[in-house]
Structure 1
Amino acid sequence: MRVSLDSLPGEEWRDNEDFAAAAPGAAVLLDGAGVAGAETGCTHGVAWFSAMLGGLLLSTITVHSARPLAECLADAIRAVRSLHENTCDLTFRASPTSTVVAVRMDAGALEYLVLGDSSLLLADRDGATTVITDRRLDDVGRRLRGPVDALPTGSPEHAAALAEYRNALTGFRNRPGGFWIAGPEPRAAEHALTGAAPLESLTSVTLLSDGATRLVDRFQLATWGETLTVLTSSGPGELLRRVREVEAGDPEGRRWPRGKSQDDATALHLVLP
């Protein structure tokens, strides 16, 4: 398996809250989140949370190869909770959370897990692509984000509307009818999208945070097939460069309304033998 990875923070002066890593036969990608403009209740912060959860999850799915991915995620969430529940307020509305994409290759199959709005891109040997994305957060967000999208990205009014929007999202987090995401509650792992695909049918597997998929799902300037072509020919760095180029041409979100002009963006591309 050949691995290529690139990741960019949304702003150079801010921590990158994405995390991605690979081990022989396994890989994970997480996109951490808090509530815009709010304290997290965690002394460690969102970047610490996503990195700690991602590292523990990768270790768990690698060591316990027969354990279902959802159970491995629940174990990792418990482990991270135990590391800071005595020092941080994990009941606070803005406590750190993270999307999760995890894959494991064993016994001729690719097992996968997707929780939150990061994506998994599978390339078949016949040239087709399959994308697995958990859209429950998007479905909730569409009902709430009208005031955000009506304002120029980066303006004080936009920042205030974005904070209000993300505060409202917490009322739908990890509950039926809302969306599910990794945070302090292990039960969220039970609601992840999981499945398997035969390894012999695949040529590559790509894990993407939502900051890296903007060319397709936000800007609609590329298809998944075209995204795969860029990854195959030039690697994750070129994909992220193209995302940043488009973002720079619309800094205020006039053409493409969005919460952040530039978001943390990560692509982990695995080419199979």
Structure 2
Amino acid sequence: MRVGLGSLPAEPGGENEDFAATAPGAAVLLDGAGTSGAETGCKHGVAWFSATLGGLLLSTITAHPHRSLAACLADSIQVVRSLHEDTCDLTCRAGPTSTVVAVRAGAGVLQHLVLGDSSLLLARKDGKTTVVTDRRLDDVGKRLRGPVDALPTGSPEHAVALAEYRDTLTSLRNRPGGFWIAGPDPQAAGHALTGAVPLESLSSLTLLSDGASRLVDRFELTTWQETLAVLNSSGPDELIRRVREAEAGDPAGRRWPRGKARDDATVLHWVLS
């Protein structure tokens, strides 16, 4: 098991709300989210939520290899809830949430789970790639973010439009017709995308937060095959460097409209053979 891990916060020295970790035969990646500047109801913060949930999930999926990944995620969400429901207002719509990607190898199979807009890149020995991404958040966002994308990223007007967009988005969180993400409700785990692939068919797998995958799926500057070549030759840090280079070339978001000029970026690349 050879694993490369790279992660950078959106701003140098800033808090990184992504979390990624690995154990023998398993890995997780979470991309924490909250509503910047809004009252979250939680005294701990987004980074605490994603790191706490991620650590518990990794422990649970390795300690209980016969339980489904969705059941392990539901259990982990419930435990995190119990850790702060007496001190925090978990009914607050702007409270911390997180995407989740989890994988576990065993009995000749790789099981995977994806909840939210982080991605899992599966590279097969025959040279083909498959990307698993939960697009429900993107689908909802496309219907709502026109006013945001029309304004320069970082401008006062953009900040106002972004706050309104995020407020509307949170009203559609974890409900039919909206999108699903890890938060205070364990039932969200049951809406994750799950699957299994024969281990013998895979050469590698890669977990990416959307701050890292944007080079492909938002900026469209490269393909997944080319991304895989970079990871195999130079590792996650080089991929993140290229993301930062692209972001620096479009700081106002005119070429690539986006909520954040820069985002936390995390890549976990696991080479199987």
Offset at 1:40?
1.4
> CA–CA distance in 2 between the matches of 1:13 and 1:143?
34
Structure 1 outlier segments of 4+, above 2 Å: none
Instruction: Supply the distance in 2 between the matched residues of 1:39 and 1:263 (Cα, whole angstroms).
Output: 21
- The whole-number CA distance in structure 2 between the counterparts of 1:258 and 1:177 is 23
Deviates more, 1:64-73 or 1:5-14: 5-14
Please tell me whether residue 55 in structure 1 is matched to residue 62 in structure 2: no
Match in the other structure for 1:165: 165
TM-superposed CA distance for 1:80, in Å, is 0.2
Instruction: List gaps (5 residues or longer) in structure 2.
Output: none
RMSD over aligned Cα atoms: 0.6
Q: Is the 8 A contact 1:30 1:209 kept in 2?
A: yes
Q: Where does structure 1 lack aligned partners over 5 or more consecutive residues?
A: none
Equivalent-residue separation in structure 2 for 1:211 and 1:198 (angstroms): 29
2:49 partner amino acid: F
Q: How far did residue 203 of structure 1 move?
A: 0.4
Counterpart check, 1:126 vs 2:121 = no
1:37, CA displacement in angstroms? Answer: 2.2
Q: Which amino acid aligns with 2:19?
A: F
Paired position in structure 2 for 1:224 = 224
Aligned residue identity for 1:272: L
Separation in structure 1 between the aligned mates of residue 185 and residue 250 of structure 2, nearest angstrom: 38
Q: Is residue 74 of structure 2 the alignment partner of residue 74 of structure 1?
A: yes
The Cα of 1:13 is off from its aligned counterpart by 4.0
Shift in Å at residue 12 of structure 1? 2.1
Determine the C-alpha separation between the residues in 2 that align with 1:248 and 1:86.
42
TM-score using structure 2 length: 0.99
Q: In 1, distance between residues paired with 2:12 and 2:70?
A: 34
1:198 aligned partner: 198
**Number of aligned positions between the proteins:** 273
Kindly report which structure 2 residues correspond to 1:115-154, keeping only aligned pairs within 5 A, or say none: 115-154=115-154
* Inter-partner Cα distance in structure 1 for 2:86 and 2:120: 34
Cα contact 1:36–1:166 (8 A) shared by 2: no
Match of 1:99 in 2: 99
Give the deviation of 1:58 after TM superposition. 0.1
